[in-house]
Amino acid sequence: MKTLNDFDFKNKKAIIRVDFNVPLDENFNVTDTTRIEAAKPTIDAILAQGGSVILMSHLGRPKGAEEKYSLKHILKTASEILGVQVKFAENCIGEPAQTAAKNLQPGEVLLLENLRFHAEEEAGDVAFAKELASLGDIYVNDAFGTAHRAHASTTIIAQFFPNDKCFGTLLAKEIDSLNKVLKNSEKPVTAVLGGSKVSSKITVIENILDKVDHMIIGGGMTFTFIKAQGGKIGESICEDDKLDLALEILRLAKEKNVQVHIPVDVVAADDFSNTANTQIVDVTAIPDGWQGLDAGPKSLENFKKVILESKTILWNGPLGVFEMETFSKGTIALGDFIAEATKNGAFSLVGGGDSVAAVKQFGFEDKMSYVSTGGGAMLEMLEGRILPGIAAILD
């Protein structure tokens, strides 16, 4: 696996695919700088060697060149975070890009305009990729969030750098962290799978059953498993067409000696609202008109025991409707357990949109071994797929 350490960047122009698809407010201020900060170590390392950097990214889902999706809006923030005045090219190809790249001096950073202003980016157009490639000497992919897409800038471009391509610091860390869970894990391994739907996690479950010792199931998908086993779930969310699938997962887990832990009690509410009436009930006996919205205290005690005995932990999905304070306690408690296990030497990997959001919201970011930046990409790797953006560098 080639990384930055395999190259000397002195007097070289590195063209880096970064993921600067950041949220902006109505005044075009960046409201979350995580992704820009995540790319900083790669950029710093290349500049420190006397190289220069050309950054390419997408922003949003523009239909053609839409002003509101221009990457010029993030220039000020990127310059502040990188500690260098970032230059800007008003197109990612053509004369503006060519001239700006040609004039770039060692130690300088150039940001190209939004790649998705051109339909050729998502189409994986070879001529477009070749034009991007002509701007730099070495190609660096540091965008895990888009590594599962075979776009021009993430995959196709790599063929124009047969010997001069590598992973950036962030992408290398993502691959390493996932491999620690999927290939080189220290046992016992526990996967915590939350969220609302079994259907969105089925391929992940199938792929990791051979690699884990414990599987904790939480969130809305709990009730599909409970109903499948004959429990009464009241008005709780349930995928009625996945009941047989839930039973099949339990059968497979038993066959592979994986212990499955499902909530035994829940915080039930008489309405999907922060101000609803609540009661703690047995998960198999939720009254009519009530719905389970968080894991209950007995469930959390059971989960705590499993987590604290684990050496490798994967957390993908919350235990309840954490966006509402009333139903956030289970997810917060789970975060506390994983933080404690991590402090005691376990390796913990958090990934998937909602669990990352919860980790950030409740201040667990620095208490986990690794928090993944790519939701869809991470899920596809957990499903056992080879991501095109990664394969293109390894090729």
354 is in an annotated binding site: yes
Phi, psi of 3 (to 5 degrees): -125, -175
58 is in an annotated binding site: yes
What is the SS3 assignment for 394?
Answer: helix
61 is in an annotated binding site: yes
What is the C-alpha separation between 93 and 104, in angstroms, rounded? Answer: 15
251 is in an annotated binding site: no
20 is in an annotated binding site: yes
323 is in an annotated binding site: yes
CB 263 within 8 A of CB 296: yes
161 is in an annotated binding site: no
Catalytic residue of the set 107, 231, 353, 384:
353
- Residue 177 CA neighbour count, 13 Å, CB half: 24
Scan for tokens 């990409």, then name that residue.
377
134 is in an annotated binding site: no
Catalytic residue of the set 35, 227, 329, 367:
35
The DSSP output letter for 41 is: H
17 is in an annotated binding site: no
102 is in an annotated binding site: no
What is the C-alpha separation between 322 and 293, in angstroms, rounded? Answer: 9
CB 117 within 8 A of CB 93: no
Catalytic residue of the set 72, 107, 232, 376:
376
> What is the helix (H) or strand (E) element at residue 305, kind and residue range?
helix 297-308
Scan for tokens 């523009």, then name that residue.
62
Catalytic residue of the set 40, 76, 130, 197:
197
Judge whether 251 counts as a catalytic residue: no
Judge whether 376 counts as a catalytic residue: yes
Instruction: Give the other-Cβ count within 10 Å of 67's Cβ.
Output: 9
Judge whether 197 counts as a catalytic residue: yes
340 is in an annotated binding site: no
Indicate the annotated binding residues for ATP.
201, 292, 323, 352-355
Indicate the annotated binding residues for substrate.
19-21, 35, 58-61, 116, 149
Indicate the annotated binding residues.
19-21, 35, 58-61, 116, 149, 201, 292, 323, 352-355
Catalytic residues: 35, 197, 353, 376
Indicate the annotated binding residues for (2R)-3-phosphoglycerate.
35, 116, 149
